[in-house]
Chains A and B, each alone.
Chain A
């Protein structure tokens, strides 16, 4: 029995190597193209993605789509590896704050020749510009969105709030009123740094500033940052949001769907995720722009969104382009606008949002839209986000050095040459 150990192990090794080879070999197979498409978590609802997949496969015989949902956590490292490999996905959704890095780093297909066909003249600048390096268009604008407040109409009515808040003071007063008994006034996790950025812009500050010497300097140790975090803290305390986590852990839409939360800060598309988790909330959700310091101007918001890129290493570049063309084209832009309330990639398509309650609130807020520091190295900041850690530190008891440490971390990451 014992002497059989060796031949047995030999056989097993042969078996294993064989198994390893076959799985590696299948990736290089030719024949009908199978395209891998990376879409970020909660960008689009599952239903919408399935509809797109079915439609695309029906209109493009011989091509099948494999849509993979990616987590934001650690995405930078993942995309870099994908771009550097010889077996990359064919289409990747990239956040508009991160696309510049990949465009600058190489490994992404230059799609300048296609801009005319895609009506590039009409693109939203906030999506087109980060995707462009040295006059070449690498990232194709997909959709834009900014955050609004999603609220429960019924809970507002119960609390006797008739007018939607237009200023910060009205907002905190209303939220405090809602925050009683079983109901939490607002679910705001401690690390929603996009929300903080909005408050910071309201104060006239920024996440980082560029000096005359071209060097970036993190700016979380300023009086403006202190004022912004103070307001964040005030708001955050009017609910049970975890101080040491972001909106993805746990998924905030699912928390809201439990029905005990009156407000949530999210892109209007978050409503789709909420209704999926709890269809009973249909007709109970409303939207309003994040209130500003005065009623004259809505609160500043981060203009978020995504671009689509095709890696150089994609083995089906032409078919991949067809996917990009469809997703960025009018038909699906309208579908996406309707279901997710996202702003379409072209200004002329804005009409797709008319009559959409969430989009109206978003458009009002977009008037005061801002962007993250415009640098290819900004993605390095997000890769190990000091703003999130800074927020948690502030919320769990002020650490006077936290602002300085976070600023230093931003400074360092932004000035690291590519």
Chain B
């Protein structure tokens, strides 16, 4: 009786499950299907004859390793830079009293909502003026700035969960305030740092608009999203290879999410991560 009443509910849940998972499932499935099955009049929904041929095509395509390297350099560089700059700021905001603190926090909140897409044109011109067009440096700087406000806001949220009294106790033992912060609070903040940087990683890893605007003539400096977006030029109508490339591109993000699984909701409520 109870199961019967729950039936519509469970059916709805299954529908949500299907809609949510299907595109990703289809991507991975297509990547493993032989070409004959991909171009079949009637599609198959199970990997009956899995093949690695498309992954070989994707990995073997021109410049593949280089695009990975570029994406990793830019992403990791931006995230580390953001952490380095954010930590002192978070300490100042969360632990010190000073004039202008509120204005600073407001500034960070505002910066977090900066419509970056509206700055594509001036960024392009600035990059050109400074000779940084087509360089990964400029892209790293832009990603650093796009992740910085969010990093500060989220870390501030994490810092609020670490009682200041711990540092004060250390100060009594003769530490200076920054030293106390470093020795006592920072280790406690480590999970927060990890979560924050991984969210930053995802943002930078996925970014398309700036990578598409700032890397133009030097094709070797392109990052993965831009490369993947031009799959028509790279793989033609080879959807198997395209889906293999997309799956590989998604892999690091999935790994990050697995690492994060406990922190996901914490990070979300702390910083409201979004595009």
Is any CB of A less than 8 Å from a CB of B in the complex?
yes
User: Which residues does A use to contact B, with CB under 8 Å?
Assistant: 2-3, 5-6, 9-10, 12-13, 16-17, 19-20, 23-24, 68, 71, 73, 77-78, 81-82, 84-89, 245, 248-251, 254
In the complex the two chains form, is A9's CB within 8 Å of B233's CB?
no
Which B residues lie within 8 Å of A86 (CB)?
A: 131
Query: Once the chains are docked, how many angstroms separate the CA of A78 from the CA of B233?
Result: 15
Which B residues lie within 8 Å of A12 (CB)?
A: 76-77, 80
Total count of chain B residues near the partner, CB < 8 A = 28
Known contacts A6-B186, A20-B137, A87-B131; decide if A248 and B233 are in contact (CB<8 Å).
Answer: yes
Which A residues lie within 8 Å of B193 (CB)?
A: 5
Query: Once the chains are docked, how many angstroms separate the CA of A9 from the CA of B82?
Result: 11
In the complex the two chains form, is A250's CB within 8 Å of B236's CB?
yes
Which A residues lie within 8 Å of B131 (CB)?
A: 85-87
Interchain nearest-CB distance for B67 vs A (Å): 14
Partner of B230, one of A2, A5, A24, A73: A73
Q: 14 A-B residue contacts at CB 8 Å?
A: A2-B187, A5-B190, A6-B87, A9-B80, A9-B83, A13-B84, A16-B76, A20-B135, A23-B136, A73-B230, A73-B233, A85-B128, A85-B133, A85-B134
Query: Once the chains are docked, how many angstroms separate the CA of A158 from the CA of B68?
Result: 50
User: Which residues does B use to contact A, with CB under 8 Å?
Assistant: 73, 76-77, 80-81, 83-84, 87, 128, 131, 133-137, 140, 186-187, 190, 193, 216-217, 219, 230, 232-233, 236-237
Which A residues lie within 8 Å of B237 (CB)?
A: 249-250
Partner of B136, one of A20, A87, A250: A20
Interchain nearest-CB distance for A229 vs B (Å): 24
Query: Once the chains are docked, how many angstroms separate the CA of A13 from the CA of B75?
Result: 11
Query: Once the chains are docked, how many angstroms separate the CA of A254 from the CA of B238?
Result: 12
Which A residues lie within 8 Å of B133 (CB)?
A: 81, 85
In the A-B complex, list the 8 residue pairs whose CB atoms are closest, starting with the nearest: A250-B236, A2-B190, A81-B216, A16-B77, A249-B232, A9-B80, A82-B217, A250-B237
Partner of A71, one of B81, B140, B187, B233: B233
In the complex the two chains form, is A81's CB within 8 Å of B128's CB?
yes
In the complex the two chains form, is A3's CB within 8 Å of B233's CB?
no
Considering the complex, give the chain B residue whose CB is closest to the CB of A15. Answer: B77
Which B residues lie within 8 Å of A20 (CB)?
A: 73, 77, 135-137, 140
Interchain nearest-CB distance for A81 vs B (Å): 4
Query: Once the chains are docked, how many angstroms separate the CA of A71 from the CA of B84?
Result: 40
Query: Once the chains are docked, how many angstroms separate the CA of A158 from the CA of B111?
Result: 70
Interchain nearest-CB distance for A189 vs B (Å): 11
Interchain nearest-CB distance for A261 vs B (Å): 15
In the complex the two chains form, is B84's CB within 8 Å of A9's CB?
yes
Known contacts A13-B77, A249-B237; decide if A85 and B136 are in contact (CB<8 Å).
Answer: no
Query: Once the chains are docked, how many angstroms separate the CA of A254 from the CA of B237?
Result: 11
Considering the complex, give the chain B residue whose CB is closest to the CB of A73. Answer: B233
Which B residues lie within 8 Å of A71 (CB)?
A: 230, 233
In the complex the two chains form, is A77's CB within 8 Å of B233's CB?
no
Interchain nearest-CB distance for B148 vs A (Å): 14
In the complex the two chains form, is A249's CB within 8 Å of B233's CB?
yes
Interchain nearest-CB distance for A190 vs B (Å): 14
Which A residues lie within 8 Å of B87 (CB)?
A: 6
Most buried by A among B135, B140, B217: B217
In the complex the two chains form, is A78's CB within 8 Å of B135's CB?
no
In the complex the two chains form, is A87's CB within 8 Å of B80's CB?
no
Interchain nearest-CB distance for A390 vs B (Å): 20
Query: Once the chains are docked, how many angstroms separate the CA of A68 from the CA of B222?
Result: 15
Query: Once the chains are docked, how many angstroms separate the CA of A12 from the CA of B81?
Result: 10
Known contacts A24-B137, A249-B233, A249-B237; decide if A78 and B217 are in contact (CB<8 Å).
Answer: yes
In the complex the two chains form, is A77's CB within 8 Å of B216's CB?
yes
Which B residues lie within 8 Å of A19 (CB)?
A: 73
